[in-house]
Structure 1
Amino acid sequence: MVAVRRAIVPLLLAGALLLTGCEDEAPAAPAPAPVTTRTVTPAPTTVTSAPPPPPSPSSVTAPPPVAAGKVVVLDPGHNGGNGSHPAEINRQVPAGRGQTKPCNTTGTATNAGYPEHAFTWDVSQRVGQALAAKGIRVVYTRQNDTGVGPCVDQRAAIGNTANADAVVSIHADGSTAAGANGFHVAYSSPPLNAAQGAPSTRLAQTLRDTMRTGGFSTSNYIGGNGLSARADLGGLNLSTRPTVLVECGNMRNAAEAARMTSAEGRQQFASAITAAIEAYLAS
């Protein structure tokens, strides 16, 4: 038994040595190197302010148009409901110069039935939108094409109350005379106040000239040279502002009726009237 114990002891010692050699031991970390601290003083820096960049085009405020802030009253002739209210539109109202006239009328139409009130409403809307885009305040004598009136004396009062820089009444004629065609511009004559004098005459001439430039022919059956002096139109007589009435053409003339009926043609009328108003306000 003693011999066996003696043999086992060396074996146990050898196994212990072998187990000790199999363990993973992390290598000893090297001692950290000494840290040397150094204070660095930055060199002084000179900052030069760059000049401000030039303003971009979008930030530059353009001067307002010459006509900005002006007031224009547009008077589209007649109204879509006039025909169904004869008693209302036939009642007599003041028309200036001691006269009375019917409140309003139904207007005329092309031979195919396109009504004047629809033409004048469409053209006035096109003119008004173009003027408003230039900063001009636009006032309409009627707000739709389905109502009745207003009467001619009320229409004049709207322009007066608005203190309008220009009032333009937009119409179309309905002459059945053979070959009758062309536009004309009416103004109050003899004038009843200062605004009906030189300012209204100048507005009429400017509108006449601009429509000519726009490709429209002057009337061959009313007035002379595209102008018509009138003493019988209530909207002109009662106005205290520069006021004209333009008959854009003859709706009974086939060629002019075709132009008025088309959207392209109405835009041509509107462009000429707009240009005339702008030219008048800028002069």
Structure 2
Amino acid sequence: MPNDRRKTARRSLALLLAAAGCCAALAGCGAAPDPAAPPSDKAPGSRGPSASRTAPSTPAPASTAPENRSLAGRTVVVDPGHNPGNFQHSKEINQKVNIGTNRKECDTTGTSTEAGYAEASFTLDVSHRLRDLLVARGAKVVLTHDADRPWGPCVDERARIGNAARPDAVVSVHADGSAVGNRGFHVILPARVREGAADTAKIVGPSRELGERIADRFARATGTAPSNYLGGGTGLDVRDDLGGLNLSTVPKVFVECGNMRDPKDAKLLTSAAWRQKAAQGIAEGIATYLEG
């Protein structure tokens, strides 16, 4: 009968639709591919965009840029001025030692800021930062001390440590203790001395070049100006009364990073961020000197 045929047709259609829905939910149950369809750009077996959302992510490749190892094979001695324990050993550090031209105290306590931040703490901090920067460039770094002894070393021993390492350069890190209003950094160079145990003839020239490079890069890195009370605005000062320079047989300079007794300079010297810049400037000066 016509009504029965319509009912049968509707039931058949419902069964077909249900089967199609079930097939779509099962993997591999789709219709055969249409030969006229364009080829897929996916790899065989790809399940399309939905599969890419569940695939494990691939980490970004590591940078292949070469490290800056320009100082590989070079040796630098870093000499942190004074020692945090010196103030407890006045008898020892007041003993006189031969500095080449005469005799002078073994060492001193160094200066400090008005608030009590000691030069010996400052020099050790900057020296550590400087060491890390130089090592990152491939250099071998020798410290004359690392606060691993109760006092010293004496100035003559510091020179011997530097000479024995046979380095390409030696830098002694300091901060000055001048009058308020005296600001800025300066680099101390060895004078031409030939007297007693001192003979700086061979190191005067290269030490000046080292000092000039450090002064230039220090100013750039820290944004501070050369000393307004020493060196005539050049940031370079020549002295013949420092045993660490007189007794050195390798290029060596002292870097006075600023004046701890001036409140404006002291604010810089007590800033960890600024000390990092100071170390960066010294490191870049050493690097440009050694790289020629």
2:176 to 165, 170, 173: 173
Please list, as runs of the form range in 1=range in 2, the aligned pairs for 1:34-183 lying within 5 A after superposition. Answer: 65-97=69-101, 99-144=102-147, 147-176=150-179, 178-183=180-185
Match of 2:271 among 262, 267, 281: 262
Deviations 1:105-151 (A, max 9, x none): 00000000000000000000000011111110000010227630000
Aligned-partner residue type, residue 201 of structure 1:
R
Match of 1:220 in 2: 228
> Which AA in structure 1 matches 2:134?
L
What root-mean-square deviation, in Å, do the aligned CA atoms of Structure 1 and Structure 2 show?
A: 1.9
1:86 & 1:188 partners in 2: Cα distance?
Answer: 27
Would you say the 8 A contact 1:82–1:147 is kept in 2? yes
Q: How many angstroms does 1:58 deviate by?
A: 7.6
Q: Which residue is 2:187 aligned to?
A: 185
Asked if the contact 2:200/2:246 (under 8 Å) is kept, the reply is no
Paired position in structure 2 for 1:240: 249
Q: Secondary structure at the match of 2:238?
A: strand
Tell me if structure 1 keeps the 8 A contact 2:171–2:255.
Answer: yes
State which drifts further: 202-211 or 102-111: 202-211
Match of 1:206 in 2: 213
Give the SS at the match of 1:113.
coil
C-alpha contact (below 8 Å) 2:174/2:256 kept by paired residues: yes
Q: Is the 8 A contact 1:121 1:145 kept in 2?
A: no
The one-letter code sitting in structure 2 at the alignment partner of 1:87 is K
Deviation string for 1:168-218 (max 9, x for gaps)?
Answer: 000000112x41001110111125334422110100111111112221210
In structure 2, distance between residues paired with 1:74 and 1:152: 14
The question of whether the paired residues in 1 share the 8 Å contact of 2:218 and 2:280 is answered with no
| Distance 1:64-1:258 versus aligned 2 partners, 3 A rule | closer
Could you tell me whether the CA contact under 8 Å between 1:195 and 1:240 is conserved in 2?
yes
Secondary structure of the residue aligned to 1:203 is helix
For residue 65 of structure 1, report the CA deviation from its aligned partner: 2.9
Aligned to 2:204: 197
Q: Give distance in 1, aligned partners of 2:208 and 2:95.
A: 31
Query: Is this contact kept in 2: 1:94–1:100, CA < 8 A?
Result: yes
CA separation of 1:64 and 1:120: change in aligned 2, threshold 3 A: closer
- Aligned sequence identity (%): 50
Larger Rg: 1
Give, in whole Å, the separation in 2 of the partners of 1:120 and 1:111: 17
Which amino acid counterpart does residue 224 of structure 2 have in structure 1? F
**1:80 is aligned with what amino acid?**
P
Give the whole-Å Cα distance in 2 for the aligned partners of 1:165 and 1:135. 13
| 1:216-257 Cα deviation digits (max 9, x unpaired) | 210011222100010001000000000000100000111111
Contact 1:132–1:138 under 8 Å retained in 2: yes
Is the Cα–Cα contact under 8 Å of residues 183 and 227 in structure 2 kept in the other structure?
yes
**Which amino acid in the other structure matches residue 185 of structure 1?**
V
Output the amino acid matched with 1:228: D
CA 1:63–1:222: 2 relative to 1, 3 Å? closer
- Which stretch of the first structure deviates more once superposed, 207-216 or 116-125? 207-216
